[in-house]
C-alpha cells in the first residue's frame, strides 16, 4: 500500500492527489524575542504553521461529495506527506467546487480546490 499523501478526515485522497496538484507549505512560528542572561537575543519556537492547497480536476460526483463532506467540520484532522508523514488539526477548509461536465451515463464531474490552514501546529505557548 502506498503512503498517505493527503487524507482529510476519513477521506484518503492519495489516489487522486498523485495525479493532481497538491501544495504543502510549512513555516516556523516564533514567539516574541527576549534577551537572555548572557545578553543574547533569543526567540522561542512555538510551533509550525501549515497551509495545504489541493486541486482535483474531473472527479466524479461521489468522490467530489466525499471531499466536500470531509471538509465540512469546524476542525478537521489532515494527514499529509512533505515527504515526511505528518498530521495536524486544521480550521475548516475552504472548498471551491465547479461542475465540469456530465457524461453519457449521467455522472457529473467536478473540479475542486481545497485550501486548509493550521496557524500553529505544535505545543504552542
pLDDT attached to residue 1: 45
Structure confidence at residue 21 (pLDDT): 83
What's the CATH code of the domain at 74? 2.40.30
Q: Quick one: pLDDT at residue 82?
A: 87
1 within domain boundaries? no
SS3 of residue 36 by DSSP: coil
The predicted pLDDT at position 50 comes to: 96
In a domain, 40, yes or no: yes
CA distances 15 to 5, 31, 78, 104, Å, are 8, 38, 15, 24
Look at residue 108 and tell me if it is in a domain. Answer: yes
pTM: 0.85
For residue 30, the enclosing domain spans 6-121
For residue 11, what is its C-alpha cell?
477521506
- Please name which of 61, 74, 62, 67 lies closest in space to residue 96, comparing C-alpha atoms: 67
pLDDT along the chain (125 residues), means of 10: 81 81 92 91 92 94 96 95 92 96 94 95 62
SS3 1: coil
Does 16 map to a domain?
A: yes
Domain membership of residue 106 (yes or no) is yes
Cβ atoms 97, 110 nearer than 8 A? yes
The number of folded domains in the chain is 1
Amino acid at each position: 500500500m502506498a503512503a498517505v499523501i493527503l487524507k482529510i478526515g476519513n477521506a484518503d485522497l492519495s489516489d487522486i492527489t498523485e495525479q493532481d496538484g497538491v501544495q504543502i507549505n510549512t513555516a516556523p512560528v516564533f514567539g516574541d524575542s527576549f534577551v537572555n542572561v548572557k545578553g543574547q537575543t533569543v526567540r522561542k519556537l512555538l510551533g509550525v504553521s501549515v497551509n495545504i492547497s489541493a486541486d482535483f480536476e474531473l472527479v466524479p460526483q461521489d468522490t467530489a461529495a466525499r471531499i466536500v463532506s470531509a471538509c465540512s467540520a469546524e476542525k478537521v484532522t489532515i494527514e499529509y506527506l512533505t515527504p515526511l508523514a505528518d498530521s495536524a488539526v486544521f480550521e475548516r477548509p475552504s472548498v471551491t467546487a465547479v461542475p465540469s461536465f456530465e457524461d453519457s451515463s449521467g455522472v457529473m464531474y467536478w473540479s475542486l480546490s481545497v485550501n486548509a490552514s493550521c496557524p500553529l501546529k505544535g505545543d504552542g505557548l
